[in-house]
């Protein structure tokens, strides 16, 4: 039987990380919740940033979570794709700009 490192249903257990270190776990989730609240940036803008970073980090859990979050907020496919292109542009730009060391 296959034992994949990533299982989509594991995402639901994320909250349980507090079980092995309650204080740090709770501090993290408090911080996390606060970060995504409406602020100088809208919750919608933050969701798109999170989606782009989820892709550059290549975290399947985060991609799952922020695809759903974007859809729930009525963000369109076009907007979501543009966001990940921003992430991709920085990634590729970061690679290419190192070309200056080669030159």
Partner 1 sequence: MATKSLLARNNDLANTARQMEILSSGIFADGELPTFANKLKETHQFPLQPKKLEILQINLGYMCNQVCAHCHVDAGPDRKEIMTLETMQQCLEVIKNTGAHTLDLTGGAPEMNPNFKEFVEAAAKAGIKDFIVRSNLTIIRANKKYYELPKFFKKHNIHVVSSMPHWTRGKTDKQRGDGVFDKSIKALQMLNEVGYGREGSDLKLDLVYNPSGAFLPGDQMALENDFKKALKTDFNIDFHNLFAITNLPISRFLDYLIASENYEDYMFSLVDAYNPTAVANVMCTNTISVSWDGYLYDCDFNQMLNLKVASKVQHIGDYNEALLQDRNIIINQHCYGCTAGAGSSCQGVVA
Binding site for partner 1 (CB under 8 A): 8-9, 12, 43-44, 68, 71-74, 76-77
Can you tell me whether residue 21 is helix, strand or coil? coil
Q: How far is the CB of 22 from partner 1 (least distance, A)?
A: 20
The CA–CA distances, whole Å, from 53 to 21, 44, 59, 102 equal 26, 14, 9, 28
- CB nearer partner 1, residue 43 or residue 94: 43
Q: What is the Cβ-side half-sphere exposure of residue 31, based on CA atoms within 13 angstroms? A: 6
Q: How far is the CB of 1 from partner 1 (least distance, A)?
A: 19
- Cα 23 to chain centroid distance, Å, stands at 23
- CB nearer partner 1, residue 21 or residue 76: 76
Q: How far is the CB of 9 from partner 1 (least distance, A)?
A: 8
- CB nearer partner 1, residue 12 or residue 34: 12
On whether the CB atoms of residues 49 and 71 are closer than 8 A, the answer is no
């Amino acid at each position: 039987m296959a034992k994949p490192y990533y299982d989509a249903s594991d995402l639901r257990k994320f909250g349980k990380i507090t079980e092995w270190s309650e204080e740090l776990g709770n501090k993290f989730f408090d911080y996390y919740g606060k970060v995504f609240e409406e602020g100088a940036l809208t919750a919608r803008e933050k969701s798109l940033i999170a989606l782009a970073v989820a892709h550059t980090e290549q975290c399947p859990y985060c991609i799952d979570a922020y695809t759903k979050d974007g859809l729930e907020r009525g963000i369109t496919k076009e907007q979501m794709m543009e966001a990940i292109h921003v992430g991709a542009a920085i990634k590729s730009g970061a690679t290419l700009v190192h070309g200056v060391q080669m030159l």
